[in-house]
Structure 1
Amino acid sequence: MSRRYIIGVDGGNSKTDYFLFDVDGSFVDHMNTGTCSHERFADGYVSTERIMGDNIRELLGRHGLSLEDVAAGAFGLAGADIPSQKVELSRIVERIGFMNYAVDNDSFLGVKAGLAKGYGICSINGSGTVTGGISPSGQRLQVGGVGSELAGDEAGGFYLARKVIRTVYDAYYRMGPQTSMSSKVMELLQIPSKELFLERAWEGILSGTLPYTPLIQLLFAAADEGDEAALAVIDHSAKQLALSTAGCIRSLDFSGDVDIVLAGSVWVKVESPALVDRYQAYVGELLAGSGLTCSYLMLQVPPATGAVLWALELAHGRPVDAAMRSQVIQRVEQLQG
């Protein structure tokens, strides 16, 4: 094989990781930089192409390499949500110099990182939410990732924190159920009276200073104590997550048992079982009678691992063996740990 290297890219909304490995799974180099997402730039795809191209050429140039030495590249990118975006991002990757590559939403990296066989479902529930599925035949489908109004992305940290605010406002002013979260939110946001609640909460949203993580922790703590309003928020999000997961499964050619990887901070870091238990129950109900069953795995390795493993899979034409997979995971964990 004359092309002896692969590149894996995990491009999020705030940062991007570029990995250079050889085709035997040995680490060569790594770069961590700012976002390359076209959605973050005034000139959109123009900056994406410039930034991603410059970083990849720098990464290769450190070792006297060029794109001629690269066997494959895999790109999991935030902002790759709809077909036209994926087409444009693929054109960018080709203009940079890749011939053998995969470009898709970063949700697909969870499948490659979490499942040795390289196919299954990944439900991401972090600051936002999206579901990605790869079937045994290689079909790929993304469900959601574009907003609650259009695609039912009614989970994720940003959504849940705002639902806490909404629940308290409803309790104060819209005949909503009383909730133990009211006094705790007032204390957290340092609001002296309920008459100032909407103004202060709105200021926090507009300025980006709303304490999302403490609000989410408050929500799950209230749910664990049996607060009905908090449980209603969690139940609603669990069902929306389940609808995306079950819909993705039924839209692809799965049969038998389907592996589902759960990734993102809300799935992985929240200790309360309230959301995941309801989610799994809803998925079971939605797939009842289909002959499909599900096994669940909480992703414990960096999603960026999926970009490297996917690129190696493209280079070799098959999923990597257990030894190479373990080698890659260990190295990426060291870099991102």
Structure 2
Amino acid sequence: MAYYLGIDGGGTKTYALLTDEQGQVLGKGQSGNGNHQIDAAVAAESIRSAAFGAIADAGLQLADIRHTFFGLAGADREPDYRILHPMIRNMGFTDYSVDCDTVIGLRAGTKRPYGVALICGTGTNAAGRNPQGEHVQCGGFDYMYGDFGGGGALNIEVFRSVIRAWDGREQPTQLTELLLPLLGYDTVGEMFDDFYDNQRSVPVDAARLLFAAAAGRDAVALEILNRQGVELGKSAAAVIRRLGMENEAFDVVLAGSLLTRGDRGWIRGPIEQAVRAVAPAASVVTLATEPVVGAVWAAMEADGLTIPEQVYEQMRLFRDFEHIHQTTR
């Protein structure tokens, strides 16, 4: 029996999934930040913890794994790989592949060997592959380098919108009554002083307040979510044009928690509009399974397997990381 391990390392969580060649889930692991650009030492420990947690959960040893595929946030450029390869080899892995997390989101969301993926989780990223096998990435490098949004930026948008409403530069917003209890303050003034005087950071979870406010038709929240959709739509259109896929039929896969677990079309709507304008035959689809499933499938393919339909059907709705206890190794 052959065993395959997939790793999805994001800025907030790292997931590991271990299966056999028939797609039977045998082991799972979960840990924290797996993006070396945020903190390389923490990322290494998170990846190790999740990976070996899944191996232990399956009752196996590392030597039993035929291939491991690491889909990692921050695996964007050659300097990143010069960090990641030694990191992964130091854990004992020899038969492995590594690519950015956008690739595994795409692989998990479409049965075609090509398409486009948009990620909006802690950060944002866009990437695609055309039928000729050419790969293009657009973004994933932070606001200064052209990006907008993701939980690690929208949290700041929430905070500053509350401040701007408080001091009169912005209209009143429901985000105020949502943010204060989340952070544990009675007034905006108290919150402002404590954050400013003590250089506190806004938790990433504050970004999710946008969805609750948008559901209440809050104009400020709707404007922020619309901008997120417009920016992701621009990224998708750029990838499509650079790959020459304007006349192709393919999937644009939406991945990341802000696109798959909260959005009711506020972000997706502008994305669909942008994609339709540049590639009318493309379909925008929301990822229905965990991106780590795409890492498992990529590990199988890297080992030379052709994935049968029954494996797709068995794993395509896998989302069961709710009750995993974090391990430390």
Fold agreement, TM-score > 0.5: yes
Q: Distance in 1 between matches of 2:94 and 2:265?
A: 43
Give the number of equivalent residue pairs: 320
Which whole-Å deviations, capped at 9, do the CAs of 1:21-55 have from their partners, x for residues lacking one? 3334344434434555434556588x569937983
Aligned partners of 2:34 and 2:47 also within 8 Å? no
TM-score (norm 1): 0.77
- 2:174 paired residue among 167, 177, 181: 181
Aligned partners of 2:7 and 2:51 also within 8 Å? no
What SS class does the counterpart of residue 272 from structure 1 fall into?
A: coil
The match for 2:138 is 143
Which whole-Å deviations, capped at 9, do the CAs of 1:88-141 have from their partners, x for residues lacking one? 424554674534x43111121111111112321121122322223232233333
The match for 2:257 is 265
1:211 Cα deviation (Å)? Answer: 5.6
Q: Distance in 1 between matches of 2:300 and 2:53?
A: 17
What SS class does the counterpart of residue 38 from structure 1 fall into?
A: coil
Moved more, 301-310 or 116-125: 116-125
Which whole-Å deviations, capped at 9, do the CAs of 1:43-72 have from their partners, x for residues lacking one? 588x56993798399659944662xx6543
Question: Structure 1 residues 204, 252: CA separation in 2 closer, same or farther (over 3 Å shift)?
Answer: farther
The match for 1:321 is 308
1:233 Cα deviation (Å)? Answer: 2.1
The match for 2:73 is 78
Question: 1:279 aligned to 2:279?
Answer: no
1:295 Cα deviation (Å)? Answer: 0.5
The match for 1:51 is 48
Counterpart residue type for residue 322 of structure 1: E
1:309 Cα deviation (Å)? Answer: 0.8
Identity, % of aligned positions: 24
Q: Distance in 2 between matches of 1:280 and 1:51?
A: 38
- The structure with the greater share of residues assigned to helix is 1
The match for 1:9 is 7
What SS class does the counterpart of residue 307 from structure 1 fall into?
A: helix
Aligned partners of 2:11 and 2:123 also within 8 Å? no
TM-score (norm 2): 0.79
Question: Structure 2: any 5+ residue segments left out of the alignment?
Answer: 324-329
Question: Structure 1: any 5+ residue segments left out of the alignment?
Answer: none
Question: 1:306 aligned to 2:294?
Answer: yes
The match for 1:233 is 224
Question: Structure 1 residues 269, 31: CA separation in 2 closer, same or farther (over 3 Å shift)?
Answer: closer
Question: Structure 1 residues 120, 269: CA separation in 2 closer, same or farther (over 3 Å shift)?
Answer: same
Counterpart residue type for residue 36 of structure 2: H
Which whole-Å deviations, capped at 9, do the CAs of 1:263-305 have from their partners, x for residues lacking one? 22221222532222123223334x2xxx554211111111111
Aligned partners of 2:120 and 2:258 also within 8 Å? yes
RMSD: 3.7
Aligned partners of 2:4 and 2:68 also within 8 Å? yes
Q: Distance in 2 between matches of 1:276 and 1:61?
A: 37
Q: Distance in 1 between matches of 2:54 and 2:105?
A: 26
Question: Structure 1 residues 280, 316: CA separation in 2 closer, same or farther (over 3 Å shift)?
Answer: same
Question: 1:18 aligned to 2:48?
Answer: no
